[in-house]
Chain A
Amino acid sequence: MNEIIQKPKRFIFNSLVFKISFFVTLILFISLAVFSFVFVVSERSEILKDIVKNGEVFAHSTVEKIYGDYAQYYIHPLPEDFETFKQLTQTTLNNNKDVIGVNLIAFNGRILFDSGEFITGKATSSERKVQDSQLLQILASDTVSSREIYQNNEWVTEIVVPLTEVGGGHILSMRYLVSNTSLNERMNEIYKQIALTVIPLMVLIILVVVFFTVPLIRPIRGLTQAVEKIRGGDLNVKIDTKSKDEIGQLAVNFNEMSEELKKLYETLEEKVRMRTRELENKNQELNKLNKELEGLKLKTEFLQIINHQLRTPISAIRGYLDFWKTGVYEKFPPQKQEEIKGNIISASEQLAIIVNNMIEALQLEADGSVAKLDISDIDIKGLIEEIYKVDFEKKCIEKKLFFKLNAQDVGTIQSDRKYLTAIISNLLDNAFKYTLQGGVEITIVRDNTTIEIRVKDSGIGLNEEDKLKLFQKFVRSKTAIKISPTGSGLGLYIVKKMTDILHGKINVMSNGTDQGATFIIKLPIHHEKN
């Protein structure tokens, strides 16, 4: 709510138009005040002159007005003595109702008369001599001047009228005291007159300023509101363009601009829509392409492997079998013949391993995380013992190795028997294959949620690079190839994939070549469906 009330207020005081009109009004008012002041001053001066003029200071014929504005008087005949002079002064005072006191200084060629203190009717004046310097000061002034003085508990105005030499006599100065009350009465008339003139004038000024300002403010406010609307996203704004001045022109330009903006915006929106649609299409194409590429990559990868790995044993088998066809086989000594037969068997074994593993890996890759699991409670210790007995015991005894299974109260886990068997068989196969002395030890540890199977051998071990690449497909360690040339490089890849499918983890530890290796598999005890 505050925001709504404040906004127009802020608008008025920040408005340039308001500022300009405010200053214009101020300047006009100041001019009016100056004019009034000058008028008052001049009127007051006129009143004072009037008092002097109308004073008939010297009521009898001896005083005559000579010039116009400036009260120039002379006394004729000049008084012969001070008493006459004093009477003259008293008469002046009596004859002017505005004047409450008169002081005259006169010189008759022989005597300088000074009526002394102001003669107020009551006060007595005494003869006094005028100093030369005072005389000069009085003579130097040639205009009527006035000042306010405080006398007998009231403010009175002193008017000084300097007089010049006239005829045979000299009057040097006349000083009147005028009552402020009567002066103020006459000034009040003036003030009334000024008020009657100035107040309507001020009202007129305000009206004129408002008359010129409001038509300026309104379109500018409209313009501002329109700009705010456009900023808010409303492009259908139009402003009234009736006025023919600059503001009107601005409004016309503004309307044109907003029209163009609207068009631009509409085409822009259309363009963005089109571009988005294009991008979406492209994206779909790309996704499709990507899937195709992924498939292609997989295909290429397997093709290369088939080319390299499958052709080798096939070439060997073909080459050796040709020995029979050509009869060369018979020429070899029996020992060599056995060796050749061994090579053929080895080649066909390699072929079988590669083909089987490849099918298995492809199957795992195709099924991935959506592989169908057949979950049951498996006695893990029993399963390992069974696998060992069936597939590895004979080999272990032949190679004079030991096998040890450490498992106490490990109970059962929920898992897929087929995958679990494959994982353990693969790891045991590797362990027995690459261990030449010592043996293989399996340790099973169970906690609340997981079961950990450690397959430890004393075999050829793994270096750092081996450990990094071990679980990638088609990768075999050089030392492993030396010991067992047949292999697909897929065994541990398959183990890794299967462990993933069972939501488990596999890791390997080895201190280096010939230091043995430990494969650690962690599996959840309870199978959770995806």
Chain B
Amino acid sequence: MKKIKILFIEDEKLLRTLFEDSIAGYGDQYPGYSFESDATPDLNSAMNYLKENPAMDIIVLDLRLPVGETGMVEEVPEKENGFTILKYVRSDMKFKDTKVMVFTNLSDPETKGEAETLGADGFMVKSKTLPTELLEKIISLLK
């Protein structure tokens, strides 16, 4: 039984819940794997989480993330905050076995190209992806 540790970085609570529910619901469809997942809502909490828990198998990373908890949310946060996390993970040897799956609503080729350049292992557009498709992709990346 292979244990897969997933960090889901996503600012929308509804999507974090859906993701966790999906793992609970679809997890047993992948025999030989067990899943352990966690979720963080913004740049600061994600960085803190990763510093304390470097042994992640895969990070599912939203790009447009708010920086932190305080203040007002401008509803379209910077995608740079997501890339900051990607750069950090790719610059630290602790994460050399960690896969990064960019999971965003930004479907333009530039964003995809930038993500690949910075070392993302996968790129999926949220609104076009069902939870089962996301899980399949995660498994295929880890095989």
The interface of chain A, by Cβ under 8 A from chain B, is 304-305, 307-309, 311-316, 318-320, 322-323, 326, 328-329, 331-332, 336, 340, 343, 346-347, 350, 463, 465-466, 469-470, 472, 474-478, 481, 485, 489
Contact A332 B25 (CB under 8 A): yes
Q: Which of B85-143 contact A (CB under 8 A)?
A: 105-106, 126-127, 129-132
A310–chain B nearest beta-carbon distance, Å? 9
Contact A343 B127 (CB under 8 A): no
Contact B75 A331 (CB under 8 A): no
B104–chain A nearest beta-carbon distance, Å? 10
Known: A315-B127, A326-B132, A343-B18. A474 touches B74 (CB 8 A): yes
Hey, which chain B residues are within 8 Å of A316, CB to CB? 12, 14-15, 18
The A interface, classified by DSSP as helix, strand, loop or mixed, is helix
Contact B127 A319 (CB under 8 A): no
Ordered by A's residue number, 6 sampled pairs between the chains whose C-beta atoms are within 8 Å are A308-B75, A312-B14, A316-B15, A336-B21, A465-B70, A470-B72
Contact B105 A318 (CB under 8 A): no
Contact B76 A474 (CB under 8 A): yes
Contact B76 A305 (CB under 8 A): yes
Contact B14 A477 (CB under 8 A): no
Hey, which chain A residues are within 8 Å of B13, CB to CB? 485
Contact A322 B132 (CB under 8 A): yes
Contact B25 A323 (CB under 8 A): yes
Contact A347 B130 (CB under 8 A): no
Cβ 8 A contact of B14, one of A346, A475, A476: A346
Known: A308-B105, A311-B127. A481 touches B73 (CB 8 A): yes
Residue of A nearest to B21 (CB): A340
Instruction: Other than A312-B12, A312-B14, A322-B130, give 4 A-B pairs with Cβ distance below 8 A.
Output: A308-B76, A308-B105, A311-B126, A316-B18
Residue of B nearest to A475 (CB): B72
B65–chain A nearest beta-carbon distance, Å? 11
Contact A311 B71 (CB under 8 A): no
Distance of A482 Cα from B7 Cα, bound (Å): 21
A133–chain B nearest beta-carbon distance, Å? 128
For chain B, the bracket of interface size reads: 20 to 34
Contact B73 A319 (CB under 8 A): no
B55–chain A nearest beta-carbon distance, Å? 28
Among B72, B73, B132, the most chain A Cβ lie within 10 Å of the Cβ of: B72
Hey, which chain A residues are within 8 Å of B72, CB to CB? 465-466, 469-470, 475-478
Hey, which chain A residues are within 8 Å of B69, CB to CB? 478
Contact A328 B26 (CB under 8 A): yes
Distance of A312 Cα from B18 Cα, bound (Å): 11
Contact A315 B126 (CB under 8 A): yes
Distance of A476 Cα from B66 Cα, bound (Å): 12
Known: A315-B127, A316-B18. A478 touches B73 (CB 8 A): yes
Hey, which chain A residues are within 8 Å of B21, CB to CB? 320, 323, 332, 336, 340, 343
Residue of B nearest to A488 (CB): B75
Distance of A171 Cα from B121 Cα, bound (Å): 152
Hey, which chain B residues are within 8 Å of A485, CB to CB? 13-14
Is B22 engaged at the interface, CB distance under 8 Å to the other chain? yes
Is B17 engaged at the interface, CB distance under 8 Å to the other chain? yes
Contact string against A for B residues 17-37, beta-carbon threshold 8 Å, 1 for contact and 0 otherwise: 110011011100000000000
Hey, which chain B residues are within 8 Å of A315, CB to CB? 15, 18, 126-127, 129
Contact B18 A476 (CB under 8 A): no
Known: A331-B25, A343-B18, A478-B70. A314 touches B75 (CB 8 A): no
